[in-house]
Structure formats: C-alpha cells, structure tokens
Amino acid sequence: MAEPRKKPAVAKAAPGKAAPGATAPGKGVAPRKPAGEVGAPADGYRSVVPPATGLRAAFAPVGGFGVTISNMFRGTVTEEYPSEKVPAKPRYHGRHQLNRYADGLEKCIGCELCAWACPADAIYVEGADNTPDDQHSPGERYGRVYQINYLRCIFCGLCIEACPTRALTMTNEYELAGPTRAGMIWEKQDLLAPLREGMLAAPHPMVEGTTDTEYYRGEVSGPTDAQRAWVREHRPDDPTLPEGAGVEAANVPGETAAEMARLVAGANKQGAR
C-alpha cells in the first residue's frame, strides 16, 4: 500500500491523431484498450442495411407497431397447461423407464453403464447375482439397486445410448416435481415399466433352453408354462398368473412415483381452470 493511488487515467483524444469519421473530439472517448483487445475500427461502424427512403422513412418511427398490430388479429398461442395437456413430441426426453422382456423379466443387468455415461451423476446402480431362486433378468447379473435423482438429471439421454440391453428408455412424461429432495430420487420400483397383459412378474427362471442371447435377439415372445409353474409354486398368489387378479393388480407404482403422481395431480387441479 506504499504506492499512492493514481487517478483513473482518462485518455484524452489528441486532436491531431483523431481518425477521420470519429466522434467529435472533446466528448468522452473510450479509454484505450489494452493490447490484444479488439477496439472499434478506425473508420467507425457502417451499416450494411441501406437507409430507408421516402414513405418508408416517414413511417419508420411507428413501423415497429406493425408487429404488435398484426398479432392482434392472430389466434392465441397460450398453452392452457394444466387444463389442457399438449402431447410432447415422440422423441421428447422425459422420465426414464426400465423395460421388461415379453415374459416379464427385467432387461436391466445392473452393468452401471448408464451411471458411467451420466454427465450429471444422477444415476446410482448396484448389481447382484441372479440365482436360480431369484432370477430377475436373463443372464448372471441384475440391477439390485437402481436410482435416478431427478434433481440432478438433465434429460440428455446419454444413459439411454449407453444401455447395452435397451433396458433404459425415456418416456414422454414430464411432470416431475415435488417438495422434498428425497421425493425426487426414483427407485427401481418407481422406474420399472408396468407389466403388460400376458407378462409374468419377475423373479422367475428364464425360458427353458434359452440364454441371454435369445432374449437380446427378441426370440422370447412370452412366458412359458414352465415359468408359470415355477411362479405358481413359489408365489401362488401372484396376480400375473393366468388365474391371478391380473396385471392391473400387479402394477402397483412405487412409493416415490405414487407420491409424485399425487402431488402433480393436486397441483394440476389447483392450476386448472
């Protein structure tokens, strides 16, 4: 602090050095740019748009209102959300979904490639062993824990591209909001695609005589009698059995998903006209 404070240097334009076309000397001139910065061109800016002439020049001061006035006669574009919901485009990046094979086994193998690809670190996966008594997906490995944190997710879709089994895809669902942090972390049960008619809820063994390759190739078209018999033996009350209560009863949404659905429905009701 020994150095005395200097007065801010105000560059004075030397009349002799003023470039032709520059503003009148004596008024404030911009301070000199440090080396390397781009300053105004020496000959000043010139518009490439030809100046208006005649009638156009006369109406120029109010010409801008033309845009306003012309819009008075157009239809409204206000989205009446949430009273009316416009469907998103088919490729809209919405909430994720963990898909199933036709026989109800999960496609996710817990490989964590989605978590690896995620630029926002929004996905957390833990794998585990499939055992004969507890087979969730074809092959040796399944995703035991699957979490997506929708406070972090930026819906970029890199996880979808990384998924080797197309287990993870995105839906068009965009109503994702909630008042708590914990309520924004979706677990596997929340993300799993609902069972469709004819599917058999996992865990159950793979179709007999197949390997994971047949599943990847789409050669499994639905549950077999042996799989149903296994489920009947281990979970006699399973609603997805032919004699069960049906997939509607089986498709119980996860806790977080249900809570968010409740909240969104409430908000929609409040916001609707």
Partner 1 sequence: MTITSAGPTTPLVPAAPPAAPQEPADTVTFTIDGIETSVPQGTLVIRAAEELGIQIPRFCDHPLLAPAGACRQCLVEVWAPGRDGNPAKMPKPQASCTLEATPGMDVRTQHTSAEADKAQHGVMELLLINHPLDCPVCDKGGECPLQNQAMSNGRATSRFVDVKRTFPKPISISTQILLDRERCVLCQRCTRFSEEIAGDAFIDLQKRGAQQQIGTFDTQVLGYVGDAPVGESTEDVSGKPFASYFSGNTVQICPVGALTSAAYRFRSRPFDLVSTPGISEHDSNGSAIRVDHRRGVVLRRLAGDDPAVNREWISDKDRFAFTWQSAPDRLTTPLVRRPGADGSRGELEPASWVEALGAAAAGLRAAESVGVLAGGRLTLEDAYAYGKLARVALGTNDVDGRARPHSDEEEAFLAHHVAGRTLEVTFADLDRAPAVLLVGLEPEEEAGVLFLRLRAAALHHGTRVLSVAALATRGLTRLNGTLLAAAPGTEAEVLDGIVDGADDELGSAAEMLAADGAVVLVGERLAGVPGGFSAVLRLAARSGARLAWVPRRAGERGAVEAGLLPTLLPGGRPVADDAARAELAAAWRVDELPAVPGRSTSQIVAAARDGSLGALVVGGVDPADLPDPALARDALDRVGFLVSLEVRPSEVTERADVVLPVAPPVEKPGTFVTWEGRPRPFPQALVSHALPDHRVLDRLAAELGVDLGLATVNDVHAELDRVGGWSGARVAAPDVEAAEPPAVAPGTAVLATWHQLLDAGRLQQGEPHLAGTAKRPTARVSAATAAAAGVADGDLLAVSTDAGTVTIPVAVSDMPDHVVWLPTNAPGSAVRDTLHADSGTLVRIASAGTTSTITTLGEA
Cα torsion through 188, 191, 192, 197, rounded to 10 = 150
- 129 makes contact with partner 1 (CB under 8 A): yes
Q: Rounded to an integer, what distance in angstroms lies between the CA atom of residue 209 and that of residue 243? A: 25
Report the interhelical angle of 54-63 vs 65-72 (nearest 10°): 70
* Residue 256 exposed, middle or buried by CB count within 10 Å (0-12, 13-18, 19+): buried
Q: Where in 147-176 is the site for partner 1 (CB under 8 A)? A: 164-165
Q: Which is nearer to partner 1, 93 or 141 (CB)?
A: 141
Judged by phi (left if over 0) then psi (alpha if -120 to 50, else beta), residue 169 lies in beta
Q: What tokens appear for 145 in the block?
A: 């824990």
What ranges make up the beta strands (E) of the chain? 96-98, 123-129, 141-149, 168-170, 185-186
| Smallest separation, CB 192 to partner 1 (Å) | 19
Q: Where in 201-260 is the site for partner 1 (CB under 8 A)? A: none
From 111, 153, 192, 241, residue interacting with partner 1 (rule: CB under 8 A)? 111
Report the SS3 class of residue 240: coil
Pick the closest to residue 128 from 108, 147, 113 (CA basis).
Answer: 108
Q: Which is nearer to partner 1, 113 or 260 (CB)?
A: 113
Find the part of the chain contacting partner 1 (CB under 8 A) among 46-54, 60-68, 92-100, 126-134. Answer: 126-134
Find the part of the chain contacting partner 1 (CB under 8 A) among 94-102, 106-114, 180-188, 254-262. Answer: 106-114
- 122 makes contact with partner 1 (CB under 8 A): no
Distances (CA, A) of 33 to 20, 38, 39: 19, 8, 7
- 43 makes contact with partner 1 (CB under 8 A): no
Q: Which is nearer to partner 1, 124 or 155 (CB)?
A: 124
From 13, 98, 105, 113, residue interacting with partner 1 (rule: CB under 8 A)? 113
From 29, 93, 140, 147, residue interacting with partner 1 (rule: CB under 8 A)? 140
| Smallest separation, CB 68 to partner 1 (Å) | 55
Q: Which is nearer to partner 1, 135 or 165 (CB)?
A: 165
- 134 makes contact with partner 1 (CB under 8 A): no
Pick the closest to residue 184 from 154, 132, 147 (CA basis).
Answer: 147
Q: Which residues bind partner 1 (CB under 8 A)?
A: 109-113, 115-116, 126-129, 139-141, 164-165
